[in-house]
Amino acid sequence: MSLVRHLPPFSLALSALALSSWASVAQADIYKFVDKDGTVHFSNQPGAKQQGGQVYLKTREKKHRGDFTPFAPSDVSPERFSRHDDTIRQAATLYQIPEALVRAVIMVESNFDPRAVSHAGAQGLMQLMPATASRMEVRDSFDPRENIFGGVRYLRILANLFNGDLELTIAGYNAGEGAVMRHGGIPPYEETQDYVVKVLTYYRRFAAAQPQPPPER
């Protein structure tokens, strides 16, 4: 399924060499470079760090030390669904991701409760893991605006990486881009497969509920 093929490219460039190397050596650290034109490049070459690259993705994320308390979503107020409309709209516009997809991810991840914390340590509306939040330059995952912008930025990166494939983008958000690359598609994890179905269901529902522009005359 490729429901987001229409998404325009974002201003992140992945060279064919870097992308192929990343896919074939999925266990290597990934480094990020910004050239003089402001274009972002990624590399997993051994000398990347010495050449000034900043770590973008570690081979293995450090295990969480358990210094968090799981908090299940508990906000049942109807207002929660519209409380962050402006931020969702702004982030979706900035990163060119459908608002309906952002809402679907938030719905499945936290049920629109910014206080939510998973047993794995994912936090906030879009349930950012600490390492992912750091990569997306989110300082406070419990700040709704920071969390939404960080989560949508990650969706944009995933959409670029998987050529706009909606299912792979959603799977990558749940399992990580490395897992999708290693398995050459949606990973064979029951959690991830269920997650993709749930997000797609809400995505269609939210998309259908959005006001449609008037037909052109």
Contact in structure between 32 and 15 (CB atoms under 8 Å): no
> Which one of 79, 99, 109, 191 is the catalytic residue?
109
CA 201 to chain centre: 18
Active site residue 109: yes
Within 10 A of 183 (CB to CB), how many other CB atoms are there? 15
End-to-end CA distance of the chain: 32
Residue type, 25: V
Q: Are 192 and 186 in contact (CB under 8 A)?
A: yes
Contacts within 8 Å (CB) and 24+ apart, 132-136: 135/56, 135/57
Residue type for position 72: A
Would you tell me how many other CB atoms lie within 10 Å of the CB of residue 188? 9
Distance of CA 93 to the CA centre of its chain: 15
CA dihedral 14, 20, 23, 28 (to 10 degrees): -80
**Residue 213 DSSP code:** P
Catalytic residues, by residue number, are 109
